[in-house]
Amino acid sequence: MSMDHHHTTLTDRLTFPEENKIATAFFGAGFAGIALSLIGLFVNTEQFFFSYLTSFAFIASLVLGALFFVMLQHITRSGWSVVLRRIPETISLQLVWLGLLFIPILFGMEFLYEWIRPERIAADELIQHKQPYLNMPFFVIRNVIYFTVWAFLGYKLYRNSVTMDRQASDAIDRQQRVISAPGILLFAFTVAFASFDWLMSMDSGWFSTMFGVYYFAMSFQAVLAVVIALVVYLLHKGLLTNTINQSHLHDLGALLFGFTVFYAYIAFSQFMLIYYANFPKEILWFYYRFEGNWIFLAYLFLIGRFVLPFILLLGKKAKSNHKVLFGVSLWIILLQFLEMHWIVMPILHQESISIHWLDLTLLLAFVGVSAGFFFRQFARHSMVPKNDPLLAESLNKH
């Protein structure tokens, strides 16, 4: 690269222009979704809680994936990602209030979890056997621990990052790694157990030791898609065009490609081991999800979430092509929601796929409020960590 391509200073406008009122629009949509969903709570209470859990698990997967992305960049001291790191940092800040969104699930537990119902406990020896773990008090305690750990990590890493915008500090930069190293270990345990508690325990007879990794793999693939979609959006708005270049996009595209393969590997491994072992209690989970037209969704994930992105992102040029990346990203985010639906809903609707209007209003509520919060927070600080020690390296990435 010739020297004139090198630049170590930020020349772009660094604040997100709030005048386009995108946060207000999202909040408006979110509150409309909340109002409609509250009607549904009284019309069809059981459906409400199933739809609520689906949308909650979807949004949680994205904010948790963003936290992992941030911690991964810190412990590997990645220079390339500095210019776009504020995006996942701002997403993961939502972990501060994610725990509040979990509270409604506690009120719908007798609908969602059979191990809470006395008549099911009395009738099923296996549930009785799991009672020391699957009981209401311990369930609440575990979730308080998960949300406390995540809120601390999300908040602290974000706070430190914006503090460094005002004044460069090697001590804070070091602290980011000191938090992230044990943080990633705590993340692995808490996310695995949270996925067991929220989703796997809905079918209390079923268990899969790979379920935690499966939830993580799909979450990380989906959050990479969210980050890419936001980066492309910013570039098309004429923001950060001298800061984020094709090379950064290419690396994001390569990561998305890699984690598309990882997701497929984990999802297939979980299926193959259960299919091969053929234990009645274990195969039932897949049996219900391959029943009726639920099988179509299973094939959609195989083709749409693995084969299609794999082929589209295989070429070098495609990994930095805005249209390809944006299209593939939106598609993966949609399939992430559908996969959560496929995990949760066959317990309520065994015969066939059922998209209830509550699924859509609650999705609107969660996405609206979450995206509104993101854009409002994103506009409050610099869009780039402007005093990061590795910023010059990131700006010079070619």
In a domain, residue 3? The reply is: no
Number of residues in the chain? 398
Q: How many CB atoms lie within 10 A of CB 76?
A: 11
The closest of 62, 88, 63, 61 to 73, measured between CA atoms, is 88
What pTM value is reported for the model?
Answer: 0.94
Q: Answer whether residue 12 is part of any domain.
A: no
What residues pair up with 102 in beta bridges, in sequence order?
A: none
Question: How many domains is the chain partitioned into structurally?
Answer: 1
Q: Give SS3 for 111.
A: helix
Give pLDDT, residue 155.
97
Per-residue pLDDT in tens (0 to 9) along the chain, 398 residues: 333 445 567 777 878 887 668 999 999 999 999 999 999 999 999 999 999 999 999 999 999 999 999 999 999 999 999 999 999 999 999 999 999 999 999 999 999 999 999 998 888 888 899 999 999 999 999 999 999 999 999 999 999 999 998 988 889 999 999 999 999 999 999 999 999 999 999 988 888 889 999 999 999 999 999 999 999 999 998 999 888 999 999 999 999 999 999 999 999 999 999 999 888 878 889 988 998 899 999 999 999 999 999 999 999 999 989 999 999 999 999 999 999 999 999 999 888 888 899 999 999 999 999 999 999 999 999 999 988 888 888 888 77
Residue 384, domain member (yes or no): yes
CA distance 325 to 208: 33
Q: Report how far residue 119's alpha carbon sits from residue 260's, in angstroms, rounded to the nearest whole number.
A: 42
Identify which of 326, 319, 328 has the alpha carbon closest to the alpha carbon of residue 249: 319
Burial of 31 (0-12, 13-18, 19+ CB in 10 A): middle
Strand, helix or coil at 257?
helix
**Could you identify the residue written with the tokens 């504020």?**
86
Residue 345 lies in a domain: yes
Whole-angstrom distance, CA of residue 352 vs CA of residue 342:
11
pLDDT at 6: 53
Query: Is 7 contained in some domain?
Result: no
Q: Domain range for residue 283? A: 18-395
Provide the pLDDT for residue 50.
Answer: 96
* Predicted local distance difference test score (pLDDT) of residue 7: 57
Beta bridge partners of 15: 382
What pLDDT does 354 receive?
85
Residue 165 lies in a domain: yes
Contact between 264 and 305 under an 8 Å Cβ cutoff? The reply is yes
Q: Does 11 reside within a domain?
A: no
In a domain, 305, yes or no: yes
